[in-house]
Amino acid sequence: AQRVTQPEKLLSVFKGAPVELKCNYSYSGSPELFWYVQYSRQRLQLLLRHISRESIKGFTADLNKGETSFHLKKPFAQEEDSAMYYCALDFGNEKLTFGTGTRLTIIP
């Protein structure tokens, strides 16, 4: 079955430390991969997508086909990075499958 797994419900990181939010998927094909973010009192919004290969707000995400992972990384965490992060995949069936989310808290 096609599945998206975010193993960490909660993640706390000190300001200035590196951040890595994990996302694993189960699928034999090549999905479209996204990271969405929800800041406090704001709408859920797209952070980045694999196909664009952009770095947004210092975040990058690399696809590892061998490990079927799409982890989100940032070298130096900032307080404004505190938010809920969702990994989402389009398995080519015209809908997104979301992970259960990771709440990131940056400790000042």
Partner 1 sequence: DGGITQSPKYLFRKEGQNVTLSCEQNLNHDAMYWYRQDPGQGLRLIYYSQIVNDFQKGDIAEGYSVSREKKESFPLTVTSAQKNPTAFYLCASSIRPTGDEQYFGPGTRLTVT
Can you tell me which of 46, 62, 64, 76 binds partner 1, judged by CB under 8 A?
Answer: 46
Residue 18 DSSP label: -
Under the binding rule (CB under 8 A), the answer on residue 49 touching partner 1 is: yes
Can you tell me which of 22, 56, 69, 96 binds partner 1, judged by CB under 8 A?
Answer: 96
> Interface with partner 1 by CB under 8 A: which range of 21-29, 58-66, 74-82, 86-94?
86-94
Tokens of 47: 């952070």
Beta strands in the chain (DSSP E): 3-5, 10-14, 19-21, 24-26, 32-38, 45-49, 60-64, 69-74, 83-90, 96-98, 102-107
Whose tokens are 């090549």? That residue is 30
Under the binding rule (CB under 8 A), the answer on residue 73 touching partner 1 is: no
Interacting residues with partner 1 (CB under 8 A): 6, 9, 32, 34, 36, 43-46, 49, 51, 86, 88, 90, 92, 94-101
